[in-house]
Amino acid sequence: MDFQKPSEPVIVDTLAVTGGGFVGGMLSRAVVGLIHNPTATDEAGIKKEEKMLLVKRGGLAVAGIAGAAFITGKDPLTSFAKGACLGTALVQGLEVVKELAKSNGVTADPSASKTKQALANAVGLGCGCGTHALNGSRRRRHALRGPVPQHSYSNMDTYAPQASIMDNAGGGLDAWAGTKLLN
């Protein structure tokens, strides 16, 4: 492995693959949202739908890997498409690993071993320190923010002067705006 100053084509190719990865990852989540519509209300049905979701995610991950393997070429559009396939495979593969780890008892519980806590953090299941992991919801810290500012609009003439003041500034657009918009 050699480290060299990158040339312009290498930079363009790297940006195309990276951008494609982001777009592919986001689109894969959108696709999962479109193809997976859970409707079950009983426990058995929910379990079945969770397994089907894993199969769908796994299928998207495999399709992303296959797509990246079959795409060849050296232009930026090809690199973008290959990155999109890799992004799809990466995001959906991580989601599969996360769900499998959760179903096998990996948690970030503070009483769990350090190895299990580290594994839970690695797969995105959160940490026992009270913060949320990647893609998790975040608590809003309203207490740290000040009160919401209150505005008084009673002195608008200070900010939007009367048309007579505008007439003294000159003709043209100033005069027209002052007479048409403020009266």
User: SS3 of 11, please?
Assistant: helix
What's the token pair of residue 90? 């990466």
What's the token pair of residue 170? 């000159």
Inter-axis angle of helices 43-70 and 76-103, nearest 10: 150
The residue type at 107: T
pLDDT tens digits, one per residue of 73-97? 889 999 999 999 999 999 999 999 9
Percent of the chain having pLDDT more than 70? 69
HSE at residue 134, side-chain half, CA atoms within 13 A, is 9
pTM, entire model: 0.64
Instruction: Assign 176 a pLDDT band (cuts: 50, 70, 90).
Output: low
pLDDT tens digits, one per residue of 21-67? 999 999 999 999 999 988 888 888 889 999 999 999 999 999 999 99
pLDDT tens digits, one per residue of 109-130? 778 778 877 888 888 877 545 5
d(CA 45, CA 118): 32
Q: Whose CA is closest to 98, among 135, 127, 118, 123?
A: 123
Average per-residue pLDDT for the chain: 79
Q: In the chain, where are the structural domains located?
A: 8-129
Task: Give 13-69 as a DSSP string.
Answer: HHHHHHHHHHHHHHHHHHHHHHH------SHHHHHHHHHHHHHHHHHHHHHHHHHHH
Residues in the chain: 183
Q: Which residues contact 82 (CB under 8 A, 6 or more apart)?
A: 17, 20, 67, 68, 71
Which range of 53-62, 141-150, 152-161 scores highest in mean pLDDT? It is 53-62
